[in-house]
Amino acid sequence: MRRILVTSALPYANGEIHIGHLVEYLQTDIWVRFQQLIGNRCLYLCADDTHGTAVMISARKAGVSEAEFIARMQESHQRDFAAFDIRFDHYGSTNSAANRAICERIWHSIRQAELVVERDVEQLYDPRVGTFLPDRFVRGQCPKCGSPDEPGDNCSRCGHHYSPSELIEPRSTLSGATPELRKAPHLFIELEKLRGFLESWTQTGDHLQAEIANYLKGHFLGEPLRDWDISRPAPYFGFEIPDSPGNYWYVWFDAPIGYIASTHEWCERHGERLDDWWRSPECEVHHFIGKDITYFHTLFWPGMLKTAGFSLPTKVHIHGFLTVDGEKMSKSKGTFVAARTYLRHLDPSYLRYFYASKLSSRVEDLDLAVDEFIAKVNTDLVNKIVNLASRTAKFVESTGLSPTYPDDGGLFVAAAAAGAEIREAFEATDFSRAVRLIVALADRANPFVEERRPWDLRKDPAKAGELQDVCTVALNLFRQIVVYLSPVLPRLAEQAGALLGDPITRWEQSQTPLVGKPVNKFTHMLRRVEEKDVLAMIEESKPAGEVDTATASPAPGVVGSTTWNDSGVPLAAEPLAPECTIDDFQKIDLRVARVIAAEDVPEAKKLLKLTLSLGGDTTKNVFAGIKEAYKPEQLVGKLVVCVANLAPRKMKFGTSEGMVTAASTDGAPPTEVFVITADTGAVPGQRVH
């Protein structure tokens, strides 16, 4: 029996769980349940990741204390996980006494290893809010290309990288205030000192997927590893560093330590020793994470563990992101579905099954195509698998299963043998392969029922024995499939166990048929998915107030903010700029213009080249960063609003003589950009007053 400790990444306490998060938690939960099913001792641990500026700000906005804020969020997270049958052995919080203690312990080791250096860091500071600003909380004009309102780390227009302090006319997105440059001491971990260890750990053994090891080799280990800035000056929601008053551990220092702290809390409750799980060569440690946090889990984290003498991860399992119908999840398209919203419309088993049917051990994005989702769930689960039971169980309600297992032409034995391959696939987190193999078993079981025609047998009392045998076979094949599928579909396993009076708890149950048992009354196990439910879920996930003009028209004559129920998200994402005067506004000459030509700039990722007419012979050549939102032909003929007196700017592909105005939510993907057009009747050349 192996002893295995498993974690999923700690969800951040700044937002709700959505179906993208669930890829990871379901993947992990399935693997854990599989391990338990085959008899291994397997613990599944998680916690909320609670620290950092973002939580501090969100709590402030919500008008509650951080403690209150994270408590609410944690409750919400745990409720969602439970609803999807994600079964943690313990769910902690990084804002716990246990975590603080272990952070201190690990910190002490890192200090002792002389890996810490102190250096001053200049960072922008918001004097109005009284806090230092992470890069993404600062916006301003790009120092290179002059593009206004660019984020604090790099320019979305020219791609130039800079530090937020290089921005021209920077402002805080929290308050609109002009940030000040302030110097503060920060603590750094000198990761380069661990190079030897990290090279060998990442490049040998089976700790990482091959593509990840390769990626690290090329991207990080190819040059000196940079020092890791792991402290933040006050105010910061987190743990104060004991030997550095006024400084707090950066959230990414204490977050992974939460894995150990959560284990510690579990140990306290169950009378176990932490060292048996985190300092024992007998115990495997498996982390499941998304590809976005590869860096933290494959370099810093092993470095910290190694230095502090904890077990290194046996394996870091890294998965890709979720896409919906081939595109990134999008709030406006309604594909950014909160777990809570999903639950209002659909059965969690559908998602568990669908994800399982798509997941492999590779670092690939997983696509949820709505049609495929519906087809897979209905065809495989309901029509093929559950159908085996629902078409035969009632014939043996009174007699129960045959006392000995009848001749089934070798079906049960063959499916039992297939278990070895299915088991390997689960072990390797190659769930799509496992599911494919399992469904193939159902494809063989249904023809058996068809051929033996139980519905005819029941008409002849002399064939009662044969009827019982046929149903005994069908129900056993069903049960066998459900045992294999039980890590994916625990509810179905429970229902099947109840039907046959024999709870499904062990993989071995797939190897021996069940005989001589009474059969309970069959009750529905899984409803078919209906397209309208999926569509309703997507509709509900669209931002409130966003009316789909193709399908809905507003009630005439009724106008008011309560009627429209517009979301507060865009404004909150990008608070109002500092006040300006009418004179300030007059400097900007906005004009109505007609797009008379639009063409793609093939070499550019974001740009379209537009020719704007201001009426008469006056035209302007403008490059607009809207390629990902519009096709050129959609724009030709449109009346847009342009900044007509903008200084011309030479760009890689030509000179841009103006700018087309467009609306977007800060932080939204580049596909969510909406060009501002003029109402009917406006003509090119008119000024916007």
At its nearest, how many Å lie between RNA and the CB of residue 172? 20
Chain centroid, CA 474 distance in Å? 39
At its nearest, how many Å lie between RNA and the CB of residue 365? 5
CB nearer to RNA: give 61 or 605.
605
CB nearer to RNA: give 59 or 437.
437
Chain centroid, CA 273 distance in Å? 33
Contact assessment for residue 123 and residue 133, using Cβ atoms and an 8 Å cutoff: yes
CB nearer to RNA: give 92 or 490.
490
At its nearest, how many Å lie between RNA and the CB of residue 112? 22
Per-residue burial over 659-683, b = 16 or more CB atoms within 10 Å of its CB, e = otherwise? bbbbebbbeebebbbebebbeeeee
CB nearer to RNA: give 165 or 360.
360
Q: State the Rg of the chain over Cα.
A: 30
Sign of the dihedral through C-alpha 631, 632, 638, 641: positive
Element (H, E) at 172: strand 168-172
Q: How many helices (H) and strands (E) does the chain have?
A: 24, 26
Q: How far apart, in whole angstroms, are the C-alpha atoms of residue 484 and residue 507?
A: 7
Q: How far apart, in whole angstroms, are the C-alpha atoms of residue 353 and residue 346?
A: 13
Q: Mention every residue, 6+ apart, whose C-beta is less than 8 A from residue 225.
A: 191, 192, 194, 195, 198, 299
Q: How far apart, in whole angstroms, are the C-alpha atoms of residue 235 and residue 57?
A: 11
Contact assessment for residue 361 and residue 433, using Cβ atoms and an 8 Å cutoff: no
Lookup: tokens for 530:
């209906």
At its nearest, how many Å lie between RNA and the CB of residue 411? 13
The closest alpha carbon to 381, from 430, 422, 296, 439, belongs to: 439
CB nearer to RNA: give 294 or 665.
294
At its nearest, how many Å lie between RNA and the CB of residue 247? 17
CB nearer to RNA: give 87 or 362.
362
CB nearer to RNA: give 320 or 615.
320
The closest alpha carbon to 259, from 306, 305, 298, belongs to: 305
For binding to RNA (CB under 7 A), which residues are involved? 153-154, 159-161, 211, 214-215, 218-220, 226, 228-229, 291, 295, 320-321, 358, 360, 362-365, 367, 369, 372, 375, 379-380, 382-384, 386-387, 390-392, 394-395, 432-433, 436, 439-440, 443, 446-447, 449-451, 453-456, 524-528, 605
At its nearest, how many Å lie between RNA and the CB of residue 335? 14
At its nearest, how many Å lie between RNA and the CB of residue 491? 12
At its nearest, how many Å lie between RNA and the CB of residue 456? 7
At its nearest, how many Å lie between RNA and the CB of residue 492? 9
CB nearer to RNA: give 333 or 340.
333
CB nearer to RNA: give 433 or 594.
433
